[in-house]
Structure formats: C-alpha cells, structure tokens
Chains A and B, each alone.
Chain A
Amino acid sequence: MATIRLEKVEKRFGDVVAVAGIDLAIADGEFVVLVGPSGCGKSTTLRMVAGLEPVSGGKIKFDQYVVNNLTPKNRDIAMVFQSYALYPHMTVFDNMSFGLRLKGMGRDEIRRRVQDAAALLNITELLRRKPRELSGGQRQRVAMGRAIVRQPKAFLFDEPLSNLDASLRAQMRVEIKRLHKRLETTVIYVTHDQIEAMTLADRIVIMRGGQIVQVGAPMEVYEQPVDRFVAGFIGAPQMNFLPGRVVAEGNGLAFAIEGGILLPLPAARDAAYAAWRDRPMELGVRPETLHVGRFEGPDAATFEAAIDVVEPMGNEGLAFFQVAGVEVAATCDPYLRRDQGDRVPLTVDMARAHLIDVETGKVVPSGTAGRQAGHPAPALAAS
C-alpha cells in the first residue's frame, strides 16, 4: 500500500526521448490506467516505476521516499507482464511462491498464501502443473496469482490481457476489477485498449509522444477531452470530426459545415465560442450523440446526408455517411433499411458536441462542460 508520485520523470534512450518529463500523483489504493498509442512511453513509464529501467531525470516517490536508486527487489512492487513471464522450469506453485521463498518466509505461511490466492483466482487444481501445460487464460491467472501472494505495495500491469481472445479478455477485466475492490492495492495498469481503460480505471492517464495529454476519471475524459487526440482516442466507435467554422446566425452562433450545412450552437456557449468565429474549426461529434432520424431536444440540430452503409450491431446500428469529404458514423435503428445514396435526416445533440481549433488541435472550453455526473443527457424525442 503506497502512494506513487512521479515528478518530472524523464527517459531517454540515446537520442530517443521515450518519456518527456511527466508529473503524476497516484493515491493509495487507486487504480490508474495509462493509455496511448503504441510507442508513447507507457511501458517505459511503468518499467521506471518498477525499477527495471533507470530514470534519465526526475524523481519517483513511493509515499514520501524517493526510490530512484532502489533495485526492483527493494521496491516491493509486483509486475504482471504481457508475456506472463512464468518460469517455465517451475510448477505453478513454485512460480507463485518464488518471491516468498526468496524472502525466506516459512513453509506454512507460503502454502497458506498460495492456496488463498489460488482459490481467489480459481487455479487451485493447476498448482502442480508446469506453465507449458496451461492455456493462455490460465497462465494469465497464474501470473496474477504470483503478484497477489506477495502482497506488494503496488501492482504494475503491462497490457496483461492483450494476448487473450475477446471474450476471455472481457471476463478477466471483470476479475481484475473485482480483485482490486477486494485487495485495495494501488494499481498502475498499461493498455492501449481504451475499453479496458474506461472500465477499469479510477483515473485514466492519456499519453502521447512521451507526454501526458490528460488525466481524469473515465467519464471526465470521455465528456471533456482536452484535445482532438484524446477526443478521438477515447470512445468507440471513434468521434466524428466535421470541418467547418463558427458563424453568426440570427442572435446566436452556428457551426457551418463545409458544403452549406448550418448547425445552431447552444446559446449557453455563445460567450465561450464568440472569439473563435471565422477560423478553420472542427466539430467533434460522437456517433452516440448523432442519430439517424429527426428528433426534438433543447439543443438538437438536424441536417441531411446521403447514407453510405449500415452496420447492424445487435442492439444498435451504425450508419456511415460522407459529409464534407469526411466519413461520419451515426447511431441508427439496427433494422434500418436504406439503399446506398438515400438521403436521410441526422440529428446532433449539440450540447454534447465539441469545438476544436484545427490549428492547435485543442478543444475550446465550452463553459458548460458537456454532461455531468448524475445529469443524464437530455433525451431526444422523436418528432
């Protein structure tokens, strides 16, 4: 149990800057997920916390102690690797008890702890097997078991689920969350899967090019991304970006999509957006706030576009359009039957759209901050 603090932590490999001076404070018992595209420095950050990689600059603190110069052995953390890294020459029991045996713990205590962890993870009947006799999911559990028995200060996970198939991954995700609820140990979890990040994290840390772009609770980074990168990275299917500009319209403002579509912006945002008129901007609209059909709502705006394809996905469908030269996805009735090229109405919930400055990629603060916890999105009513 410990708080973990990174202060201006930096890592260079020769000329490559893998981590460019990041600051992050992780509370005791918190589950923090590092996400970002490949090569953004997630693993390197984790490995510096583990002590497997020396830092090139800055400080790493566990509680109030600077651990920069401690070897992994003395940091008392447990790490779960993407490859699982089980010792092939040892049985599952020996794998799990390896760290305890190194500490010189008594046999009974070791047995008890391994049994407990094995029961927790449902691998009791595998204890005598060697890793090569296990399936991928079982190996994954053993790797977690090996971490749990040590009762470390913190768990570090580096893409632990990326070698599992989709259904197993979903199942393990739930188990990891349950384990964390129960053990209440600090976790740093690296993934490039934004669904894992959303579902597991207390806080998500989004990285890019060795820097932290945004830190926040899952719904916070979903609702209020700071820039186009975060907006596009978090949320699936991906956010649509419609090119256009802010123009005066009647008493207020509207977003004019290239090609002549005019979407009135919420009046509450007039003050915030006024300064951004007549510059190249993008409107970020999530597919789940863009519906095929004509709906009414306080900030609903409707336009028409020609349908490209429809993908039924069970409870919902996704319809794709070409608008102003970009592909746009919208939610639709999964039973929607339309021919390619049919023009259909599309309704945007403008209160949940984001205005992005094309030049800097930053999201313009709206002053009204999307949807808040406990305040459901205003329902759109069919008209």
Chain B
Amino acid sequence: MNPRAALFRLWVYGLAALLLVICAFPLAWMVLTSIKPDREILTAVPTFIPSELTIDAYRRLFTSTIFATYFRNSIIVAGLATLLTVAVGTLAAYGITRFRFRGRELISTTMLFTYMFAPIMIVVPFYILMRQLGLVNSLFGLVLSYATFSLPFSMWLLRSFFQSIPLDLEEAAMTDGASRPQAVVRVIVPLALPGVIAVTIFTFIVAWNDYLFARVLISSDNLKTLPVGINDIYVSTVTDWGMMMAAGVVITLPALIFFVLVQRYLIAGWGAGGVKG
C-alpha cells in the first residue's frame, strides 16, 4: 500500500472511531451509571469505571415502581401492533400488486403522503376518533394507533418486494395445487421475507419508542407503556439517576435482542435463480 492510501485509511478509520465514540459514549455511560453505587453518581470528579458494582438501582426499579407493568404493556402493544401491521400490510401489498381495481394506482402513489403530517398534527384528531370508538385509555387503542401509523410505509415497502416476485411463481404454485392463500404463505411471503422483516423491525421500534400517542391516549397508570411510565417516574420522585439509567438499559435490551435475532434474515439475494436468468 502506498503512503497516500495508508494516510487516507488512517483518516477514515479515525473518523469512524470518533463517530463510534460519540454514539456509544452515552450508552456506555448509561450502563455504567446503572451499576454504580449512588454516591458515585453525582460527584465533583466523575468516575468512569465504578469502584464497586451493584444492582441496587435495578432492584429499586422493579420494587418501588410498577416498571414491570409498563414493560409488559410495552411488549403487548409493540408485539400486537407488529403482528397487525405485518398481517394487514402483507395482504394489502399483495392486493395492490396482484389485482386490478379502481383507485389502485391512486392508493399506491398517495400511500406515503400520510407521512407528510407530523404525528403531533394527527394526535388530537386521533384522540377524538378513539374517544368516539371508546378506545381511549386502552392498550387496543394504542395497538391500532401504531398499526395505523406504520402501515402506509410498511405497505409501500412490501409492495416493492412483491412487485419483484415474478407472477409465474405464484401461478406455478396454483397449478401445482395450491389455493391462493397457500401460494401466498408458502411462496410469496418466504420470498418477500427480507421485506417482511424490515417491516417487523420498523413497526416494533415505532411502537416501542412512541411517547406521544401513549401520553395522549393513556391515562391509567397501570396501562402506561415504558416511555410514558419512565417519564412519570422521573417527574414524580426525587430524581433517582441510578434507577433512571437502569430503566434505560432495560428498555434498550429487548429492542437490541430483537434486532440481533431478526437481522440475520435480512440477507439479500434469496430470490435469485428460481426464474430463468
């Protein structure tokens, strides 16, 4: 390697390392703070590596608050919203790519317009709608909100995946003795798997991280999801920074685990080879 190239590499790696530090430092600080003894959290000279490790903050989190309930609510809401979005999004994308009907093009092209509105603009109308449906202050109402919010993008994404799957494959499945639903489940969805997974991740994260809708739609403490619940812990007590950081860690973990589990299915190149080429 010549010196110029080496220098260039050094630059690139240096910048990458800098970015990594900027992104990772707050996370590392969160984890470290959650396992520090209290007296080390607010000091004039901060310690980076804790002098002793403790899980006290975690114990307080689960005993002095109803964090476990928030956690459960979040899992339920994000899980159901994801299932609903994937199910409806898949069917919708299939319909839009495989059938001709009045308004099909209009739907396809205007789907993404819904994202021109910031969530904050639709949250009040949404509240009114939910009140009329009697779904205010219920987890189901939240599930519907998140599905509504993530569906247009999911449909749009799945549509492009479905479009890339040759019609022949489905027709082959049907002449092979599959009903249309069987052809979709056994042939189309497996081939669109990377898209389905991307939609799953997207919806899960939207639902898991949402603060706005949960804040507006939920009032009972035992129905709150994590973002709202933790915010209320912060407001309602003398700020317990150790506990806050512990909560942060516990919130991050499921999303992280989920992502790691699912991302290996995102490998591209599945589709190649079935049809001549």
User: Which stretch, B47-55, B173-181, B204-212, B247-255, touches the partner chain A?
Assistant: B173-181
User: Which stretch, A129-137, A221-229, A275-283, A316-324, touches the partner chain B?
Assistant: A129-137
Cβ contacts under 8 Å, B171 to chain A: 50, 52, 72, 79, 81, 85
Chain A 56-72, CB-CB to B under 8 Å as 1, else 0, gives 00000000000000011
Chain B 165-177, CB-CB to A under 8 Å as 1, else 0, gives 0101101111111
Q: Bound complex: CA of A75 vs CA of B190, how far in Å?
A: 26
Cβ contacts under 8 Å, A84 to chain B: 274-276
Within 8 A of A (CB), among B263-277: 270-276
Q: Is B157 an interface residue (CB 8 A)?
A: no
Question: How many interface contacts (CB-CB < 8 Å) are there between A and B?
Answer: 92
Cβ contacts under 8 Å, A337 to chain B: none
Q: Bound complex: CA of A218 vs CA of B224, how far in Å?
A: 78
The residue among A99, A103, A150 with the most chain B CB atoms within 10 A of its own CB is: A99
Query: Is A83 a contact of B178 with CB atoms below 8 Å?
Result: no
Query: Is B172 a contact of A79 with CB atoms below 8 Å?
Result: yes
Q: Is B201 an interface residue (CB 8 A)?
A: no
The answer, among A88, A139, A150, for a CB contact under 8 Å with B272, is A88
Query: Is A72 a contact of B273 with CB atoms below 8 Å?
Result: no
Cβ contacts under 8 Å, B186 to chain A: 98
Cβ contacts under 8 Å, A51 to chain B: 174-175
Kindly state the interface size class of chain B when it binds its partner.
20 to 34
Q: Bound complex: CA of A136 vs CA of B274, how far in Å?
A: 11
Q: Bound complex: CA of A146 vs CA of B169, how far in Å?
A: 13
- When C-beta atoms are compared, the residue in chain B nearest to A140 turns out to be B276
Q: Bound complex: CA of A76 vs CA of B176, how far in Å?
A: 8
Within 8 A of A (CB), among B64-97: none
Query: Is A98 a contact of B273 with CB atoms below 8 Å?
Result: no
Kindly state the interface size class of chain A when it binds its partner.
35 or more
Within 8 A of B (CB), among A83-109: 83-89, 98-99, 102-103
Q: Bound complex: CA of A132 vs CA of B273, how far in Å?
A: 4
CB distance from A250 to the nearest CB of B (A): 61
Cβ contacts under 8 Å, A348 to chain B: none
The answer, among A82, A99, A139, for a CB contact under 8 Å with B177, is A99
Query: Is A98 a contact of B176 with CB atoms below 8 Å?
Result: yes
Cβ contacts under 8 Å, B271 to chain A: 88
Q: Is B163 an interface residue (CB 8 A)?
A: no
Do A85 and B172 form a contact, CB below 8 Å, given A71-B179, A73-B177? yes
Q: Is B182 an interface residue (CB 8 A)?
A: yes
Cβ contacts under 8 Å, A78 to chain B: 175-176
Q: Is A77 an interface residue (CB 8 A)?
A: yes
Q: Is B196 an interface residue (CB 8 A)?
A: no
Query: Is A150 a contact of B177 with CB atoms below 8 Å?
Result: yes
Within 8 A of B (CB), among A227-263: none
Query: Is B172 a contact of A150 with CB atoms below 8 Å?
Result: no
Q: Is A340 an interface residue (CB 8 A)?
A: no
Cβ contacts under 8 Å, A86 to chain B: 172, 273-275
Q: Bound complex: CA of A75 vs CA of B179, how far in Å?
A: 12
Q: Is B187 an interface residue (CB 8 A)?
A: yes
Cβ contacts under 8 Å, B273 to chain A: 86, 88, 130-134
Query: Is A131 a contact of B176 with CB atoms below 8 Å?
Result: no
Q: Is B142 an interface residue (CB 8 A)?
A: no
Q: Is A199 an interface residue (CB 8 A)?
A: no
User: Chain B: residues with CB nearer than 8 A to chain A?
Assistant: 166, 168-169, 171-180, 182, 186-187, 190-191, 270-276
Known: A84-B276, A85-B168, A87-B274. 14 other contacts (CB 8 A): A50-B171, A72-B171, A79-B171, A79-B175, A81-B172, A83-B166, A86-B274, A88-B274, A99-B176, A99-B178, A102-B176, A133-B273, A146-B176, A150-B177
Give 7 nearest A-B pairs by CB, closest first: A132-B273, A88-B274, A85-B172, A85-B168, A99-B176, A79-B175, A83-B275
Q: Name 7 A/B residue pairs within 8 A (Cβ), A-sorted.
A: A77-B175, A81-B172, A83-B168, A84-B274, A87-B187, A88-B191, A89-B270
